[in-house]
Chains A and B, each alone.
Chain A
Amino acid sequence: MELVWEGIRKAFDLLRTLDPEVLGITLFTLKVSLLATLASLVLGIGTGVALALNTFPGRRLAISLINTGMGLPPVVVGLFVTILLWRNGPLGVLELLYTPSAIILAQTVIATPIIAGISLSALQQLPPDLRLQILSLGATRTQMLWLLLKEARLPLLAAVMAGFGGVISEVGASLMVGGNIKGSTRVLTTATVMETGKGNFDVAIALSLILLALTFTVNAVLTHIQQRERPR
């Protein structure tokens, strides 16, 4: 129990003194996960819209794949992205392995199906006549899409939160494709694993608390936006 208190005290010390290394890791974690969430939003909502509004052969299969992808294990993503990015792998010429871009790429692969799956069900939940109504009022296809997304904004924000929560908390992929390199690709989760391995439990607890606080803050902001004005 003493260890936990010591960890909490250490966490406040690290925050109060603005320890440059911890601060750097925290900001870097936030940056990487936000960029990955942003990329997944574009891809995920795009996929969700495409699947919700169109019918084509293989659509059910695509939806099953997306739903499976929502539970994609980060280590599996990490392994395949690593193989892809090896110097002698298919994308080796990009020299992305062990860089921040590699982490963003892997996290995007993890979050995209989560956001796609939730967007898809969000759009499917809208009344089916709504589309026809909007179109019959003379809206263009882009305008209709915009209105539909606006109508579904509550679950879409939930999708953002789920996607962000998924990537900021994962450790397997970041460790494999990033390499936990000091000052370059070390994020809060990989640093926590390393400090635990080194026996620095107080620092590990401190890092975990910072991670929790960070996740809470981002979600609080998103929740605030989500709940600001209730539709209808």
Chain B
Amino acid sequence: MKKRILNVLGALLLCLGPAAAAQGTLILATTTSTQDSGLLDVLVPMFQKQTGIKVKTIAVGSGQAMAMGRKGEADVLLVHSPDAERAFMAEGFGLRRRLVMHNDFVVLGPAADPAGLKGTPSAAAAFRKLSAGAVTFVSRADQSGTHAQEKKLWKSAGFDPAGRPWYLETGQGMGATLNVAAEKKACTLSDRGTYLAMRKTLGLVILVEGDPSLANIYHVIELEPAKCPKTNAAAGKAFADFMVSAPVQEVIRTFGVDTFGSPLFFPDAGKKDE
């Protein structure tokens, strides 16, 4: 009886497993912005069709994506947190890091602009104005690329917002954080892609944009097999090659133009890094 129960359970567990346990699967650890903007919904099926490799996309912050890479729980990373990526490469976890695309960060807030950010010459100056606390600021606070950028901007403004009553930390993805900011009529930092994709429901406007310090750069990183032996290095390389290939770069260039009126990302493959 006991054995039969165990058999039934084993069968139950396995009946859905084999397809996923096949050789050709790839765990892509990436940022929420690539998923929330819809770009991966276009690229992943393309990749699966071309290579027959099944992709498991795990959309987390860049920080968590790199943590998965360090533990060998992913095969390839698509991330946008350059400083943390350089550290990741220096520690020897990455085999190769290639430039894929960029867009930019924007500072968003209610149209009434209570902090008077409109027309501020630089992002650092805008964050100095925000430090007065006239308006609530919503932070991702999830170690994502956007969060890293936000911390950098606070630093350039010479201010530490931690613990201020007007500084809210959601610990969630870009989309969820934008919803909180919209609901609280607060300011926040977002990548332009996610903002454009969600603009219709938000009621937030762009207050600061165009500063070079607001660049948002995405890299694809293959993992070092010597450090993470269980990594599917061949599939990881296939995905990285795919991301920088000419047809994919063309898809990136035009993605979003028909729905949002302007592209969400700008292809950069092959350009000189930084």
- Residue ranges of A at the interface with B (Cβ–Cβ < 8 Å): 35, 38-39, 42-43, 46, 86-88, 92, 94-101, 104-105, 179-182, 184, 196-201
Selected interface stretch from B132-140, B171-179, B239-247, B265-273: B171-179
Q: Which residues of A contact B109 (CB under 8 A)?
A: none
B12 at the A/B interface (Cβ < 8 Å)? Answer: yes
Q: Which residue of chain B has its CB nearest to the CB of A32?
A: B16
Q: Are A182 and B41 in contact (CB under 8 A)?
A: yes
Q: Are B9 and A43 in contact (CB under 8 A)?
A: yes
B164 at the A/B interface (Cβ < 8 Å)? Answer: no
Selected interface stretch from B88-96, B142-150, B194-202: B194-202
Q: Which residues of A contact B12 (CB under 8 A)?
A: 35, 38-39, 104
Q: Are A199 and B178 in contact (CB under 8 A)?
A: yes
Complex A-B: 13 CB contacts under 8 Å: A39-B12, A43-B9, A97-B73, A99-B17, A100-B16, A101-B13, A101-B20, A179-B58, A181-B57, A198-B36, A198-B198, A199-B197, A200-B201
A30 to B32, CA, bound (A): 27
Q: Which residues of B contact A96 (CB under 8 A)?
A: 13, 17, 20-21
A39 to B5, CA, bound (A): 9
Q: Which residues of A contact B41 (CB under 8 A)?
A: 182
Q: Are A184 and B201 in contact (CB under 8 A)?
A: no
Q: Which residues of A contact B173 (CB under 8 A)?
A: 197
Closest 5 pairs (CB-CB, A-B): A197-B175, A99-B20, A199-B198, A100-B16, A197-B176
Q: Which residues of A contact B73 (CB under 8 A)?
A: 86-88, 97
A180 to B15, CA, bound (A): 20
A43 to B8, CA, bound (A): 11
Q: Are A199 and B179 in contact (CB under 8 A)?
A: yes
Q: Which residue of chain B has its CB nearest to the CB of A99?
A: B20
Residues B1-27 near A (CB distance < 8 A): 5, 8-9, 12-17, 20-21, 27
Of the candidates A35, A38, A88, A196, which one forms a contact with B72 in the assembled complex, judged by CB atoms under 8 Å apart?
Answer: A88
Q: Which residues of B contact A42 (CB under 8 A)?
A: 5, 8-9
- Residue ranges of B at the interface with A (Cβ–Cβ < 8 Å): 5, 8-9, 12-17, 20-21, 27, 32, 36, 41, 44, 54, 56-59, 71-73, 172-173, 175-176, 178-179, 197-198, 200-202, 230
Q: Are A184 and B36 in contact (CB under 8 A)?
A: no
Q: Which residue of chain B has its CB nearest to the CB of A142?
A: B1
Q: Which residues of A contact B179 (CB under 8 A)?
A: 196-197, 199
Q: Which residues of A contact B5 (CB under 8 A)?
A: 42-43, 46
Q: Are B16 and A88 in contact (CB under 8 A)?
A: no
Query: With A42-B5, A99-B20 in contact, do A199 and B201 touch (Cβ < 8 Å)?
Result: yes
A180 to B32, CA, bound (A): 12
Q: Which residue of chain B has its CB nearest to the CB of A46?
A: B5
Q: Which residues of A contact B58 (CB under 8 A)?
A: 98, 179, 181
Q: Which residues of A contact B172 (CB under 8 A)?
A: 197
Min CB gap A105→B, angstroms? 6
Min CB gap B81→A, angstroms? 20
Min CB gap B224→A, angstroms? 15
Q: Which residues of B contact A200 (CB under 8 A)?
A: 201
Q: Which residues of B contact A46 (CB under 8 A)?
A: 5
Min CB gap B61→A, angstroms? 13
Q: Which residues of A contact B44 (CB under 8 A)?
A: 182
Q: Which residues of A contact B201 (CB under 8 A)?
A: 199-201
A88 to B179, CA, bound (A): 36
Query: With A87-B230, A104-B12 in contact, do A179 and B17 touch (Cβ < 8 Å)?
Result: no
